[in-house]
Amino acid sequence: MDSRIESKIGKAGTVPVVPGAVRRLRRGRWREVFIETFLRLNGFIAIAAILLIFIFLFKEGIQAFRTIPAGHFLQSQELDFDNVPQTVRLWQPVGQNPKYSLIPLLLGSFLVALPGTLIATIFGVACGIYLAEIAGKRTREVIKPAIELLAGVPSVVIGFFCLATLATFVQDALGTTFRLNAMVGALGVSLVIVPVIATMTDDALRAVPGYLREGAHALGANRWETITRVVVPAGASGLVAAILLGMGRALGETMIVLMATGNAAQVTLNPFDSVRTMTATIAAELGAVPQGGEQYRALFLVGSLLFVMTFLINLVAELAVARMRRRLAL
Amino acid sequence: MKSSAMVTPRPAREAVSNASPAKVAFGGVSFSYPGRQALSGVTLDVPERRVTAIIGPSGCGKSTLIKSINRIAEIGTEVKVEGRVTIDGQDVYAPGVDLVDLRRRVGMLFQKANPFPKSIFENVAFGPRIHGASRAGDLDQAVERSLRQAALWDEVKDRLGTSAMELSGGQQQRLCLARVLAVDPEVILMDEPCSALDPISTARIEELIEELRERYTVVIVTHNMQQAARVSDRTAFLLNGQLVEVDDTETIFTTPADRRTEDYITGRFG
Ligand SMILES: Nc1ncnc2c1ncn2[C@@H]1O[C@H](COP(=O)(O)OP(=O)(O)O)[C@@H](O)[C@H]1O
Ligand SMILES: [Mg+2]
C-alpha cells in the first residue's frame, strides 16, 4: 500500500499534478486509517463483550447467595417420612423446600462431556492426522469440506437424530435401562466436536514445519515413524488444544443434551443413566421462572460456573498453542 | 593462470581425478518435478572419502542433485527420473530398493538446522532407534560417540535431557550432524549447511568436514565460493540443471575449462 502511494507521489514530481489524483490519494489514506481503526475496534469489542457477559452473569448469579446458604449448593437436609433429617444432593428448585445442589448438574455435564470428548478425540485426531499427513491433495479437498459441513448441521437436528434413532439403537445394542441417557448425549455431542478436533488437529500438524518431516525421512524413518515419532510429538500441544477446545464445546452444548440425555438430575457416575447437564437445566428452566427470583439467580450462578469452566479450558488451550509455537520456534 | 578474484583454493592435495573410486555415480540423470525439469543429463562421479562441492546459482538444481541420492527429492511430490544414480554400483532407483537402508547409508544435513523438538539425547538416538537399537547401553554409547564426533559432547554432556531447541544455531547444526553420524552412514550430503550460520559456527562446521573426509564420502552444496575452495577436493559446477564442469577444486578455481564456470566463480553472474 505504502509503496504504491510513494510511487504516485514520485510521479507527481515529474508530471503536472492532477488535483483529482491527489484527492483520490488522500481518500485512500483515510480509508486505510478507517479500516485499521475499525479492525482494532472489533478486537476491543470482542474483549469488552466477554467482560460484559461475565459481569452480567456474575452480578445476577452472586445474588443467589443472599437467600441460599452456600452449603446448599452442595447438599441440604430434608426430613424423611419418619421426620429424620436426611442429607440430600438434589436439584429441585420448585416446591416447599427447594433444593439447589449443583452436584447432579456438574456430574451430568461431565458424564456427557468426558465420554463425548473421548469418542470425538479418537475419531477427530485420527481424521486430522489422516488429513494432514496421509490424504493426497485431491482426497483432502473432498474430505475437509465434508467435515466442515458436519460442523454446520444445526444441533437441534443432531439432537433429533439422537432422540429418535440413536437412542433406540444404543438401547438395543447395550440393553440400557434408560433409553435416553448420558451416553446417547455423549455420542450426539461427539458428532458436533469431531469436526472441531479434526480441523484443529489438521491445522496443528500442518503447522509442523516440513523440514522436520524431511529430517526424519532422511534418517530412514518411514512415513508411520515420521508421523508418530516426529510430527505428532511436535504438534502435541496443538492436539491438546484441539481436544480441550472440543471439551469446552461439549460442556457448552445445549440442544443435543436437552433432547438426548433424559434430563433427570441425579447423582450418578454411570454414563448409561439419565442425567441433566448444567446447560440443559438453564435452557429448560430459565424461561419459566420469574425474573430476579431465587431460582432465577441460582440459574445464573450455574451459568457463571459454566462460563468460568469453559473460559479456563479455552485459556489452557490457548496456552498450549502458544507453547507449541515457542517449542517449534515458529 | 587465470586470476580468480578473491578465492584461494586449499593447499594442493594429491590430485583425485583418477585416484579414488566413485562412491556415488550419476549416469545421464534427468530429474523432473511435475511441470519442471530440474536436472538434465547429469553425469558425475563422486569419489569415495573425498569432499565434493556442488556450486551454481539458485535454482540450478543443486539440492535436487544431492536429494536424488537419498531419494528425499521425491517425497511429497511426483517425480520422473531417467538415467542411473548408483552407490557402490547399485542403482538407488532400482525396483525393490530398501529406502530405509538407503537413507541409513546416506545421511543428510539441511540448509536450516532441523533438530526435532525433543531432548538432545533423543535427537541423536532417533536414527539408531529407527534402525532397531533399543538396548540403553548401546544407545548411550552411540549418542556419546556421535556427539564427540560432531565436536558437541563437551558443550552438552551435562544437559543431554534438555530440549535441542535451546541450542544455538551452530550447535543445532552440529547436533544434526551427530544425529546423522549416529546411524553410521557412508555418504553424508550437506545442502548449504552453513548458510544460516555466523562465521565462527561456519568455521567449526568446516573443521568437522575436514575430519569427516577421512571416513566418509561428503557432498556439499554451497553458495560460498571460498567455502567450496576451502573444504572440497572436487568441485562440480551446475547451471540450469546441467553439469557444466567438474574437476579438482584447485583446477576449477584456477584454470576452469569452461567460460561459464570462470564467470560464475569470479562473480560475474549468479
Ligand atoms: N518439490 C518441487 N516441486 C516442483 N519444482 C521443484 C521442487 N523442488 C525444486 N523445484 C524446482 O526445481 C528447480 C531446482 O531446484 P533446486 O534443486 O532446489 O535448486 P537449487 O538447490 O540449486 O537452488 C527449481 O526451479 C525449483 O523451482
Ligand atoms: Mg537448494
pLDDT at B243 over 90: yes
Mean pLDDT of chain B: 92
Question: Model confidence at A4, in pLDDT bands (50, 70, 90)?
Answer: very low
Q: Mutate one of A133, A208, A213, A219 to test the B interface: name it (highest B CB count within 10 A).
A: A219
Q: Please indicate if any CB of chain B lies within 8 Å of the CB of A223.
A: no
CATH of domain B22-114+186-265: 3.40.50.300
Count of Cβ atoms closer than 10 Å to residue B95 Cβ: 5
Contact B118 A233 (CB under 8 A): yes
Q: In chain B, pLDDT over 70 holds for what percent of residues? A: 92
Phi-psi region of B20 (alpha: psi -120 to 50; beta: other; left: phi over 0): beta
Nearest CA to ligand 1 atom 2: B33
Cβ B38 under 6 angstroms from ligand 1? yes
Cell (9 digits) for B152: 558437541
Question: Which of B140, B142, B145, B198 is closest to B169 using CA atoms?
Answer: B198
Residue of B107, B112, B117 lying closest to A218 (CB–CB)? B107
pLDDT digits (tens, 9 = 90+) for A249-289: 999 999 999 999 999 999 999 999 999 999 999 999 999 99
**pLDDT over 90 percentage in chain A:** 76
Mean pLDDT computed over B83-99: 96
pLDDT band per the 50, 70, 90 thresholds, residue A8: very low
Q: What is the pLDDT of residue A11?
A: 40
Q: How far is CA B124 from CA A19, A223, B188, B209, in A?
A: 68, 19, 16, 19
> What residues of B are in contact with residue A234 (Cβ under 8 Å)?
116-117
Whether residue B82 has pLDDT greater than 70 = yes
Nearest alpha carbon, ligand 1 atom 7: B33
Beta bridge partners of B20: none
Query: To which residue does cell 488451550 refer?
Result: A317
Instruction: Please say if the pLDDT value at position B124 is more than 70.
Output: yes
* B7-29 per-position pLDDT tens digit: 665 555 555 555 678 999 999 99
Q: Hey, where are the domains in chain A? A: 99-327
Joined together, the cell numbers standing for residue A284 give 429448560
Residue A22 CB coordination number (10 Å): 13
> Each residue of A52-96: pLDDT tens digit?
999 999 999 999 999 999 999 999 888 888 888 889 999 999 888
Which grid cell is B33?
Answer: 518435478
Question: Would you state the pLDDT for residue A206?
Answer: 94
Contact at CB, B103 and A220, closer than 8 angstroms: yes
Q: Is the pLDDT of residue A181 over 70?
A: yes
- Whether B18 contacts B263, CB under 8 Å: no
Would you list the DSSP string of B123-173?
A: HHHHHHHHTT---HHHHHHHHHHHHHHTT-HHHHTT-TTSBGGGS-HHHHH
pLDDT of B227? 95
CATH of A99-327, one of 1.10.30.50, 1.10.3720.10, 3.40.50.300, 3.50.50.60: 1.10.3720.10
CB contacts, 8 Å: B131 with chain A: 220
pLDDT at A15 over 60: no
Q: Is the pLDDT of residue A2 over 50?
A: no
**Considering only A27-31, A234-238, A243-247, B126-130, which range has the smallest mean pLDDT?**
A27-31
